Chain A
Amino acid sequence: MSSKTQPPADRLPLIHIADLHKVYVLGLTRVYALRGIDLDIEKNEYVAIMGPSGSGKSTLMNIIGCLDVPTRGRYFLNGKDVSKLDEDELARIRNKEIGFVFQTFNLLPRATALQNVELPLFYAGISAARRRQLAREALEKVGLADRINHRPNELSGGQRQRVAIARALVNNPSIILADEPTGNLDTKTGAEIMDIFDHLHQQGNTIVLVTHEKFIADHAERIIHLKDGKIEFEERPQVAGGTVQ
């Protein structure tokens, strides 16, 4: 299911994770969050990571998202070893390569939808005019062209999550990382959000979805099941990339 030997750099998949360990030291105890994960994700794949709480899926997600570094093991993103980078280098990788979508949306409450979407572009050093244009286009893609000057508290949950998706898209990242994106939404709105992800996947984006709901994970092409910091098994749902009502 994965290669222990390291393929040559030009043939590496988009994400290549080898023997990944993460140990947290909490006082005197050591918590083994990940105990040797091997995982490859190709470009334009749609992968869901599932598992009960404490299975290590959040830790894996944070490492894939370059918010954290592994204790041991290698993580190649786009052919680049990102497991040994310092904080600022990781910030630049997050800025260029990764688009986050969170369960709690994580929008800046005082900023408008447009300003929220502009945020990654601001840190990329893009000029104000270009930022506005790109952010507007991203908001149009998620169907919020008429809401660009609304603040998060003036938007519904679904609309907020769409702003967050637009923000994740705006930098044209290599991966879109979604952590329980429907966790705070009702079933109908959740389905709408999942439609957007399906659509984004069809347009060629690589999507990694973390969830504990099977019917959400079923949207993906591959489901990775984690348990106790290890990959328990992997499955391919029947209706890959389709909509399950």
Chain B
Amino acid sequence: MRTFLEYLRNAWDSLNAHRVRSFFTILGIVIGVTTIICIFTIIQSINRYVEGEFSGLGASTVYVSKYPWVITGNWWEFRNRPPITLREYRALREQSVFARWISPLIESFRTVQYRSHSLEQVYTVGCNEEYPETANVSVSLGRWFTHLEVEHARPVVVIGAHVQEVLFGLENPLGKRIKINGLPYKVVGVLEKRGNFFGFNMDNQIIIPYTTFRTFRLSRRNIAIALRVSDPNQLDELKDEIRGILRRVRKIPPTEKDNFSINQQDMLTQFYHQLTGTLYLVVFVVGGISLIVGGIGIANIMLVSVTERTREIGIRKAVGATRTQIIVHFLSESILISLVGGFLGIVAGVLVSQIPLNLMKLGASVSPGTVLIGVGFSSLVGILSGLYPANRAARVNPIEALRYE
């Protein structure tokens, strides 16, 4: 080990003796490693962000709806399904044992007004008092509406932070009456600020009791149903139970497939991983190619260096260097080149990846794995590209080498 450090120091001296050449050789590796580290960091940061977003859907919540979240196959098959209605919500509510919390979800976009301020296309959810449990949301101000308010169809509303800002500014919104598509509702709470979900402003929404949701033929309208178990391990039991109840309610014969979908966060995460898996592969190939090009650069320069230093090799052999010692001598130069390149590449990769991540307003995550990949790949390239030139050096005939001009 101590001897290898001396070889590395020797290698450093020879790189120093040809600074320009070493710079360009190292640059080849830097570009390759930067590419890999940069894209890896970006993907990992996006991954972390996306997983964070998906987790908002709740790991222990399932959503019953007409369409599956990830459609594979023929869309028309799903289009002909009957809508999920409040009748099925009631059936699930009465019969499900595993669902600890359950809420219908009626969604629409409404115009909201308060005095002279108005906001159009506000995402409006009609649900019951158990919705905050299923969706992992809470109020930062005021309260949620109660069971009784839902039962008696009281015109109360919980508004998002963005809606509060636009309609009320600094004014206290609690107890104020706003108009939703012209109908008056009393503000009882303000949702915690949640930011964006894939570009959709989660704070630009209002939540009202589903019983007050004014819509065309409410009983036939397609809704979704959110169900949450108390113990995430019971998720599969819940899904089986839902299937049983809905098939019974809908009187589906055993030979026919389900005509409803039970969705959960997993499906999105899996689908997302499937997508990024391909992306990873592309990055590996692109980064790999640039590293191979860098490696060829090293091999090329090392071959030139071996030829140029034929006499030096002759001298070293004359005073007793064995083939192995000559190989280690030249290998340590190529390894040093790639290690320096790898290190600079990691630094550059992390720095460069900040630019797009900042534009996307994402925090960068640099994992030790990424660094390991950078160091690993570059040392591999260093060894592989140095082997052939080092072997050539070791095979130099000392007698001819000493005469070499």
Contacts and interface: CB of A to CB of B under 8 A. Distances in A.
Nearest to A86: B323
A68 B317 contact: no
A68 to B, nearest CB: 6
Contact of A123 (B311, B314, B325): B325
Interface stretch (A41-49, A102-110, A206-214): A102-110
A106 B318 contact: yes
A65 B399 CA distance: 10
Contacts of B314: 106
B354 to A, nearest CB: 40
B320 A62 contact: no
B6 A122 contact: yes
Interface residues of B, number: 22
B359 interface: no
Contacts of A68: 399
A86 to B, nearest CB: 10
Size bracket of the A interface: 20 to 34
B315 interface: yes
Contacts of B323: 87-88, 91
A100 B319 CA distance: 8
Contacts of A100: 318-319
A16 interface: no
Interface string B281-321: 00000000000000000000000000000011011111111
Contact of B320 (A96, A102, A106, A128): A96
B240 interface: no
Contacts of A108: 312, 315
A92 interface: yes
Contact of A167 (B6, B17, B319): B319
A110 B319 contact: no
Given A94-B318, A100-B319, A110-B13, A88 B402 contact: no
B402 A120 contact: no
B3 interface: yes
Contact of A91 (B14, B17, B315, B322): B322
A167 B320 CA distance: 12
Interface of A: 62, 65, 67-68, 87-88, 91-92, 94-96, 100, 102, 106-108, 110, 119-120, 122-125, 128, 167, 171
